[in-house]
Structure 1
Amino acid sequence: MQRIRKYNFKSKALFFLSLLSVMFFSSCEDVVKLDLETGETRLVVDAEIIWQKGTTGNVQVIKISKTAPYYNNTTPKVSGAQVKVQNSNGDVFTFNETEPGSYVCNNFVPVLNMDYTLSVTAEGQSFKATEKLTSVTPIDRVEQEIHKDGQGKESIEVVYYFKDPVDQVNYYLTDYKVDFLIYPEYLLTDDEFYNGNEINNRFTNADDKIQPGKND
């Protein structure tokens, strides 16, 4: 009889501990909203000159907005700004506002290895930046693989390969745009450990939204 009582006590104890574990892990699913501080509002200039192979590159877009609190669902757009880009030959390209915060140039002329200076005046503030338009290393191949996470769940992973030039110091900014992403995802890398070698970058989605046959 004593052994039976001892066994029952252990069973009840294990059941009690299991119940506590379930309650503990269930509580981890609660959404925690942090009380974050809101910093000073600043202007944000999103400017990049993209010349895709096979296009003229004459249409370029620059966006101007303001910073917003972390939990805001919208970003304030900035209207009435003066936006222009000047190349090293002195040619000036004016960007006109087509919708709030979006400034478009329809006659831009991209030239590789030429310097371009961006000038922005908005809400009493002025900004200026100069950069050289450089070509990117071509992608050699793109492959699709099945990726397994730590729990064995499978998802599709897109892998692309390119060769890094050996005689240059390079930085790479990859812009992922797919239909299920609200905002583009960016990946910034350099060739510090891969100079002159083949580099591969990978893109996958934790929610398994990448599907075969989609070219996004």
Structure 2
Amino acid sequence: MARYFYIVTFITLLFSSCEDVIEVDVPIDEPRLVLDALIRVDTTQEFVDVKIKVTKTNAFFDNVEVVSDLQNIYIYYGVENEYGELIGGFYSNLAELESGSGIYEPDPTFTSDQRIRTDYIENETAFWLILDYEDRRYAAKTYYATSVEIETLEEGDGTLFGDDETELIISFTDTPEKENYYVFDFDFGNFLTSEDTFYEGQPFSFSYFYDESFEQGAEITVSILGANEDFYNYMTLLIEQSEGGFGPFQTPVATVRGNIFDVTGIDNINQFDNVGQPDNFPLGYFAVVQSFTQTLIIE
């Protein structure tokens, strides 16, 4: 899942009439694993589309590096009992199906089907992501977050700051008697978070503005994703950090801590929160969320 974030330093160099070579010391940070581990569940499909991309941060001015040599990666999931233990859990072992892609999917070489059936997922199903890399073990835990359907999606004619804008109006009805969080994917790296404090259990409609005009016939795909409070807070922070033209899964701009930890040497899977090594963690977030999507054609 995920857009990964580093601190960006802006340096302004003022040049006089003569040109001098200026050496600038840039920050040097230890490479970190970066996981794009947002899994969207379409309950109309038989299987969940599981794709987890693993990369690694490099030097300050370099691009991220694809990781193709994981020792092991799998998802363990099921319903927890009162002690937080999975009851009759299932495993989904993953593999890099396209060499050099860094994208890990259910491994088709196993004798049993490693795909995750949507029928096996219910509200609050617990999911563990476990992976081993360079003799270190990393783990993340999340719970399945349900969402609601998009009821209407239409193009508006309003503006905020000028004519070079496009308004989308989206409507949905919040689930009653439950504190809900949502993440909206407005395509092209545009995300928005919302929680139902002021519209709990009610129909709700709002406008989203793109700072550009789309050509007639252009397609815009919009999704509403379920979220728990932790994922909502994480995405809200990422969106705030990425303001200024970058989508939250695009360019590293800040080191934002997600829910993936280095658990090497920890023998209790329920107590893994970087005990004794608080600064050693990968970037990214592991989330399994229900998703509803609609596509709009610009007129």
Q: TM-score, normalised by structure 2?
A: 0.52
Q: Report if the CA contact (8 A) 1:174-1:188 is conserved.
A: yes
1:97 aligns with 2:120: no
The structure with more radius of gyration: 1
Partner residue of 1:52 out of 19, 42, 54? 42
1:62 aligns with 2:52: yes
Tell me how far 1:135 sits from its aligned partner: 2.3
- Aligned partners of 2:213 and 2:60: how far apart in 1? 26
Deviations 1:155-210 (A, max 9, x none): 32122111122311111112233xxx3xx332222223332233335443213236
Q: Structure 1 counterpart of 2:56, which letter?
A: K
Partner residue of 2:177 out of 156, 159, 167? 167
- Aligned partners of 1:69 and 1:205: how far apart in 2? 33
Find the counterpart in structure 2 of residue 19 from structure 1: none
Find the counterpart in structure 1 of residue 163 from structure 2: 153
Percent sequence identity over aligned pairs:
21
Cα-Cα RMSD: 2.6
Instruction: Describe the shift of the 1:201–1:69 C-alpha distance in structure 2 as closer, same or farther (beyond 3 A).
Output: farther
Q: Structure 2 counterpart of 1:94, which letter?
A: N
Q: Report if the CA contact (8 A) 2:32-2:57 is conserved.
A: yes
Instruction: Describe the shift of the 1:175–1:120 C-alpha distance in structure 2 as closer, same or farther (beyond 3 A).
Output: farther
Find the counterpart in structure 1 of residue 253 from structure 2: none
Tell me how far 1:154 sits from its aligned partner: 4.6
Q: Report if the CA contact (8 A) 2:164-2:211 is conserved.
A: no
- Aligned partners of 2:158 and 2:37: how far apart in 1? 34
Partner residue of 2:141 out of 112, 127, 130? 130
Find the counterpart in structure 1 of residue 232 from structure 2: none
- Aligned partners of 1:53 and 1:212: how far apart in 2? 29
Q: Structure 1 counterpart of 2:137, which letter?
A: S
Find the counterpart in structure 1 of residue 211 from structure 2: 206
Instruction: Describe the shift of the 1:155–1:120 C-alpha distance in structure 2 as closer, same or farther (beyond 3 A).
Output: same
Tell me how far 1:125 sits from its aligned partner: 2.7
* SS class of match (2:66): coil
Instruction: Describe the shift of the 1:109–1:193 C-alpha distance in structure 2 as closer, same or farther (beyond 3 A).
Output: same
- Aligned partners of 2:40 and 2:153: how far apart in 1? 21
Find the counterpart in structure 1 of residue 201 from structure 2: 196
Considering fraction of residues, name the structure with more helix: 1
Instruction: Describe the shift of the 1:215–1:91 C-alpha distance in structure 2 as closer, same or farther (beyond 3 A).
Output: same
Q: TM-score, normalised by structure 1?
A: 0.69
Deviations 1:26-51 (A, max 9, x none): xxxxxxx8236454321111212222
- Aligned partners of 1:71 and 1:147: how far apart in 2? 40
Q: Structure 2 counterpart of 1:165, which letter?
A: T
Find the counterpart in structure 2 of residue 185 from structure 1: 190
Find the counterpart in structure 1 of residue 244 from structure 2: none
Q: Report if the CA contact (8 A) 2:186-2:220 is conserved.
A: no
Instruction: Describe the shift of the 1:154–1:46 C-alpha distance in structure 2 as closer, same or farther (beyond 3 A).
Output: closer
1:176 aligns with 2:186: yes
Instruction: Describe the shift of the 1:163–1:94 C-alpha distance in structure 2 as closer, same or farther (beyond 3 A).
Output: same
Q: Report if the CA contact (8 A) 2:166-2:212 is conserved.
A: no
Instruction: Describe the shift of the 1:199–1:123 C-alpha distance in structure 2 as closer, same or farther (beyond 3 A).
Output: farther
Deviations 1:77-99 (A, max 9, x none): 11112210112222110111123
Q: Report if the CA contact (8 A) 2:159-2:167 is conserved.
A: no
Instruction: Describe the shift of the 1:40–1:208 C-alpha distance in structure 2 as closer, same or farther (beyond 3 A).
Output: farther
- Aligned partners of 1:96 and 1:170: how far apart in 2? 34
Partner residue of 1:108 out of 113, 116, 120? 116
